[in-house]
Amino acid sequence: MTRLLPPSGRAAVMGILNITPDSFSDRGQLFTAGQPDLQRIARHVEAMVAAGVDIIDVGGESTRPGALPVSEAEELARVVPVVAMLKTRFAVPVSVDTSCPAVMDAVAAAGADLINDVRALARPGALEAAARSGLPVCLMHTRGEPGDMGRLANYRDVVAEVLDHLRARVALCEAAGIPRARIAIDPGFGFAKDLAHNLALFRALDRFAAEGLPVLVGVSRKRMVGELLDRPVGERLHGSVALALLAAQRGARILRVHDVAATVDALKILHAIEGIQPHG
């Protein structure tokens, strides 16, 4: 995992590349006639690279609340050509946001550098596929599926329960042959969590960082930003960047964002003040 992260200790910026027609934030802007537009995708990634992105995170299945499931064949058709194109044209590491074992196998063969699974390798065969790939993995906490996760946002102690879940998943990874050096964790902001849960987890990010594993934080344009600021999705840039900076201050090593340029600029200021090697 460390080879994907900046050696200076600064937070890595992971740029979101949604290869889905129903993403909550971009509404399928990278599709043409119902299919991923590779030329448009390449131009979008070129802009992220120019802005200083560290990792590109490719996702072929929307996991927004209420999203419909995607078939294995459809996810493969969306993701694999994009990963192959990115590995041919760009030097930036490529992460794939997937829970599907067949997709994990295919993107590993296509040259992907990281498996980012919102279900923490819980689907049948996913743990074995991830181990087989030899790739680093990011394990996220959630409950249920996009269609029903909202009713599962019930916790006695959200921080303790999320930590316990992630520790258990890490232990299963280690037992399957995935060493801790290849594992990152993600508290899963917005996944089966309401605003109070999200805020409690954010305040406790130092406890997640204390696990000794890289912590990924993905709050960009999410509902918690909208609820805090009373802003629609298209007006959540400032809140998203503010949370990214706070996450970096609390020990997050990977920031998964839509707005790469703004986040990189803000981090340059933070890192200059903290005396961390500048971005780029």
Q: Cβ(57)–Cβ(116) under 8 Å?
A: yes
In a domain, 233, yes or no: yes
Is the pLDDT at 212 greater than 70, yes or no?
Answer: yes
In a domain, 229, yes or no: yes
Rounded to 5 degrees, φ, ψ at 259 are -100, 85
In a domain, 151, yes or no: yes
In a domain, 140, yes or no: yes
Told to judge if 256 belongs to the known catalytic residues of this protein, a careful annotator would answer: yes
- For residue 34, give the CATH number of its domain: 3.20.20.20
pLDDT band at residue 23 using 50, 70 and 90 as cut-offs: low
pLDDT band at residue 120 using 50, 70 and 90 as cut-offs: very high
Q: Is 258 exposed, middle or buried (0-12, 13-18, 19+ CB in 10 A)?
A: buried
Q: What is the DSSP letter of 215?
A: B
Q: What percent of the chain has pLDDT over 70?
A: 94
In a domain, 202, yes or no: yes
* Coil, helix or strand at residue 35: strand
Q: Say how far apart CA 148 and CA 198 lie, in whole Å.
A: 18
How many residues appear in the chain? Answer: 280
Which residue from 143, 129, 134, 90 is spatially nearest to 113, judged by alpha carbons?
134
pLDDT score at 278? 67
Q: Cβ(65)–Cβ(150) under 8 Å?
A: yes
Told to judge if 156 belongs to the known catalytic residues of this protein, a careful annotator would answer: no
User: Which residues are bridge partners to 255 per DSSP?
Assistant: 13, 217
Q: Catalytic pick from 10, 182, 221, 256? A: 256
In a domain, 61, yes or no: yes
Which residue from 153, 258, 150, 254 is spatially nearest to 208, judged by alpha carbons?
254
In a domain, 4, yes or no: no
Task: Give pLDDT tens digits for 44-57.
Answer: 999 999 999 999 99
pLDDT score at 32? 66
Q: Catalytic pick from 221, 222, 223, 236? A: 222
Residue 21 has a CB neighbour count (10 Å cut-off) of 16
Q: Which domain holds residue 91?
A: 10-274
Total domain count, the chain = 1
Task: Give pLDDT tens digits for 146-182.
Answer: 878 888 999 999 999 999 999 999 999 999 999 999 9
pLDDT score at 24? 54
Is the pLDDT at 95 greater than 60, yes or no?
Answer: yes
Mean pLDDT of 235-252: 98
In a domain, 280, yes or no: no
